[in-house]
Amino acid sequence: MKPRTGLGRGLDALIDTSHVESNGSSSISEVELSLIRPNPNQPRTNFDEEALAELAVSIRELGVISPVTLRKNADGTYLIIAGERRYRAAKMAGLSTLPAYIRTAEDEQVMEMALIENIQREDLDAIEIALAYQRLMDDYQLTQERMSERVGKKRTTIANYLRLLKLPAEIQMGVRDKKIDMGHARALLAAKEPLSQLALYKRILAEGLSVRKVEQLAAGETDATEHKGKAESAGRTALNKSLGNVEQELQRILGCEVSVTANQKGKGKVVIPFGNTQQLEALLNTLGRLA
């Protein structure tokens, strides 16, 4: 029976685990913590201090059960590929060394490995995952399809995460702080306007709305916006037609060019141009007779 590496199927596909021998022993190295460096491109940016403290207690009592995965740098230090939580907790626990698999990897692979490891352990929030996908795609010119192949996720799944980055920053922070979950965030995307999204977000926080309710409200907001737009367009069309009729009637009565403009509230002006004083006097005489 093949020993478990604790890395997950996705990472096993990227990391050569042939160093795990059939007799159950494994080529795990003890690496000085002082030589280990966190990955600056680590997709995970939030580390729960309370959870780290609990892990540190466990490490003091039982040790590090699952080795971290490192890449050796040219200067003799090691970059964390997978296991930064264990590294941080080990430091808190006062360990001087950490069991680790040593891996040779390119920068792109390091980022992929860190992303997959965290996704499989469900350590990342939805925004962190979206940002990691976006960074990989930008840095290495990957399409969503290619990204899907590399990390073993459906293209639609990746697309859904990336869409979250279109939400206002306040809502993205709400996802990261676990004020709302990904289901709520995706439902908010149905409201097209950022102000509408923010208003619904505040209602979620205040009223504890379900995802289904948010979907209904977001759809209603979109329908209302579209209805308002159609109503305004119809109103403008009717008003323009009415003004055109008024212009024609004034031109018939006054015998000269007339321009009539008005806003949606009915406020506007009538402009009657004239070319000289004789035309002005004739116009005034006509208006006088009409009075």
Structure token pair of residue 138: 């930008």
| CA atoms of 18 and 101, how far apart (whole Å) | 11
Query: Are the C-beta atoms of residues 101 and 11 closer than 8 Å to each other?
Result: no
**Catalytic residue status for 257:** no
* Amino acid identity, position 150: R
User: Per the residue annotation, which of 21, 30, 84, 145 is the catalytic one?
Assistant: 84
| CA atoms of 6 and 101, how far apart (whole Å) | 11
- Geometric angle at alpha carbon 179, from 175 and 184, rounded to 5°: 65
| CA atoms of 264 and 234, how far apart (whole Å) | 11
Q: Judging by DSSP bridges, how do beta strands 68-72 and 97-103 pair with one another?
A: parallel
Spatial CA neighbour of 259 closest among 251, 245, 270? 270
Query: Are the C-beta atoms of residues 124 and 135 closer than 8 Å to each other?
Result: no
Give CA separation, 217 vs 13, 128, 181, 191, in Å. Answer: 43, 27, 17, 8
Q: So which residues are the catalytic ones?
A: 84
